[in-house]
Structure 1
Amino acid sequence: MLLTVLFLIVAGFFAGLLATIAGLASIVSYPALLIVGIPPVVANVSNTVALISTGLGAIPASMRELKGQWHRVMGYTILSVIGSFIGSSLLLIAPASTFEKVVPFFILSAGILLIISGRGTESNVGTKLKRDGRNPHKERIIKLISYFGIVFVGGYLGYFGAAGGVVLLAILGVITHEGFAEYNAVKNFMCCICNVAAMLLFIFKATIDWAAVVPLGIGLLIGGYTGPLIVRHVNVKMLRMLIAIASFVLAGYLGYKAYL
């Protein structure tokens, strides 16, 4: 029992780092819950609840980056919460076998998205979208599409969530003009509130393994607080590449278990 608790705390710490740096906490935290014997859907629900701790650690550490952005942040967050309620409801309705079969593809997509996003905010597509954003007509279209995208990503966060933060980073990188650290802080806040919204539904409608949530949450809290401090100094591109490789391995393993 003690080893399980220590294992989940350590896994939570690394997941918290990944959540705040790359938006990929579930790449570590979800498999950790499977390893200790928790069924897939219960593990996913418990993981979502525990991930709230990442935000509780990341938000205080990101106040410098969030300063002056709160009006915009709250608008984006409302859109994502709407999606989160939809996604978490879908998780409860869909059969457990369906969830097990789609998760490997989610994780595989997470790795691909991480590599793509690792090219930086000055990619050809991102640069063109930012340039188009200076045209009033095109700016309205880009923002409208981005708002729908935020709702969709919120739904994905409510359903599973791995790489949801990566997609949010991509969207925020287009519709904001701040640096990576600033819109990464916005992403951390949005992800936290989406997880809170999903938890409110799960408490009444799903099974939560609180014995696993607590130690995992402790690790996520510490990792979530540490992550924003690291992202100011770390080589983000190299880190993302290493995480992407790990996600491909994990996707292959979970796919093997689900289909063979």
Structure 2
Amino acid sequence: MIDLHSHTTASDGQHSPAELLSLAASAGVTALAVTDHDTVAGLGEAAEAARAHGVELVPGIELSAFVLKREVHILGHFVRPDFEELASFAARLGVEREQRMERMVEQLRRLGFPVTMGDVRAVAGSAQLGRPHLARVLVERGWCLDVKEAFDRFLGAGRSAWVDRYKLDGREAIRLIHRAGGTATLAHPGSSKVERHELRMLAKDGLDGLEALHADENPSVREKYLKFAKEFDLVTTGGSDFHGEQVTPGKRPGDSTTPPENFARLRARAASQSARPG
């Protein structure tokens, strides 16, 4: 059971890296990619826990980027956690996330919801600040029924508390992942509503994989992206996108998996990236 998409408290997940690996092992997962948003901070703890549980850890990251004007999420698999450029980029984004959160909190206060940065930090702990943390504050205060409602009413793109973010170009996201020795896979293309021409552009820019087997994709959408993956020679991957029961109810590690032969293909592509000079 190979799950190539999961999150911890290092970004917007509910569980620590050690807790996540324990849950994954209990679910029968044999290989797990920890792909926190814009950070590799949880990979050290994850590696130690993976060894303890006999699970193969695939060190990863999930970068938010843009192709044309569409926001997409690009998973980096087999990245080197100690790659200085990747760590520096994550640190810069951490500052940007802090500033963005301050503006979103202010927007909510103007709407009559007395939220503070202290409330958000209490939920986030040491993690990179993200909208799910603010959404959980709204749920805990009783202003929203669940995280989905918080996004639908306030925090989603174009909603009343939305604040635009730094826009990393998709091509540069792929190049950064490649420089870190990893492979670049487009996450949940269906929920991102990625069109063929956008996928074609990313494939030309060096995209390695397509998460057509994401837990949220329905059969017809899955078939559509499986065809695109074949057309553009992209490795098809699967992942649960597990964040924790409180953040993504109904999901658990291993809910969607990557076929072993596809995992082997992705690993081979990562090896070819690592073998390149520089």
* TM-score, normalised by the number of residues in structure 2: 0.25
Structure 1 or 2: larger strand share? 2
Choose between structure 1 and 2 for higher RCO, CA contacts under 8 A separated by at least 6 residues: 1
